[in-house]
A and B are shown apart, each in its own frame.
Chain A
Amino acid sequence: GAVVSQHPSRVICKSGTSVKIECRSLDFQATTMFWYRQFPKKSLMLMATSNEGSKATYEQGVEKDKFLINHASLTLSTLTVTSAHPEDSSFYICSALGAGRNQPQHFGDGTRLSIL
């Protein structure tokens, strides 16, 4: 089945550091990728929608200068948390959507980000 690889799985870093998270579709071309954030004991909240070759569309309340998204190819999207602070600590999950009608989304394993 379709596989989405998300890396790294866990990051612990100091406040002020920028962190890059990669999301790769391994065996299909993902025209669209989504980035979600999950707080402890909470549901997934959509942060942004990323289409290959174009600017990401951010949800209301998500700072685009804080969470930089790049989708340079059909198999790779990256999320960079710039100048991370403790309140950015969370579980970030990507999903990838293949071309064609009624394609299910395939989720990565998530990245646990802890900012000290």
Chain B
Amino acid sequence: AQSVSQHNHHVILSEAASLELGCNYSYGGTVNLFWYVQYPGQHLQLLLKYFSGDPLVKGIKGFEAEFIKSKFSFNLRKPSVQWSDTAEYFCAVNQAGTALIFGKGTTLSVSS
């Protein structure tokens, strides 16, 4: 069955620390990959997406992610986090035209 795994349940960082959130998927065939962020009390926002081409994808707010096909991974990174990055982060996968399958999410807490 298709699945998405986010290994980090809760990450706590100080401001200016570097961030890497893991995402692995189990999916046959060609996939599209996404990272969404949900700030407290707000709706989902798309951070970045990968469909094809350069496996290093840059998104909004200084985030980037790298698709490593051989590892079935799509880890999210940010060189220097800010307090305002405190949120829930969801990795999601789909194939063209189908519903997104979400990981369980990672809570990021950034202290100032």
Could you tell me which A residues sit within 8 Å of B by CB distance?
32, 34, 42-46, 49, 93, 95, 97, 101-102, 104-105, 107-110
Point out the residue from A32, A42, A110 that lies within 8 Å of B104, measured CB to CB.
A42
A104 in complex: contacting residue of B34, B52, B102, CB < 8 Å: B34
Would you call B51 and A102 a contact (CB within 8 A)?
A: yes
Instruction: Count contacts on B: residues with CB < 8 A to the other chain.
Output: 20
Complex contacts, A108 vs chain B, CB 8 Å: 43
Known contacts A107-B43, A107-B44, A108-B43; A44/B102 CB under 8 A: yes
Provide the bound-state CA to CA distance between A31 and B103, in Å.
25
What are the residues of chain B within 8 A of A110 when measuring CB–CB?
Answer: 43
With A43-B90, A44-B90, A110-B43 in contact, is A104–B101 under 8 Å at CB?
A: no
Q: Which residues of A contact B98 (CB under 8 A)?
A: 49
Q: Which residues of B contact A (CB under 8 A)?
A: 32, 34, 43-44, 46, 49, 51-52, 90, 94, 96-105
26 intermolecular pairs with C-beta atoms under 8 Å apart: A32-B97, A34-B100, A43-B90, A43-B103, A43-B104, A43-B105, A44-B44, A44-B90, A44-B100, A44-B102, A45-B102, A46-B100, A46-B101, A49-B99, A93-B43, A93-B44, A95-B100, A97-B97, A101-B96, A102-B52, A102-B96, A104-B46, A105-B100, A107-B44, A108-B43, A109-B43
Give the A-B pair count, Cβ closer than 8 A: 39
Q: Which residues of A contact B49 (CB under 8 A)?
A: 104
- Distance in angstroms between the alpha carbons of A44 and B100 in the assembled complex: 9
Q: In chain B, what residue has the closest Cβ to A9? A: B43
Which single residue of chain A is at the shortest CB-CB distance from B51?
A102
Closest to B6 in A: A43
Give the residues in chain A near B104, CB-CB below 8 Å: 42-43
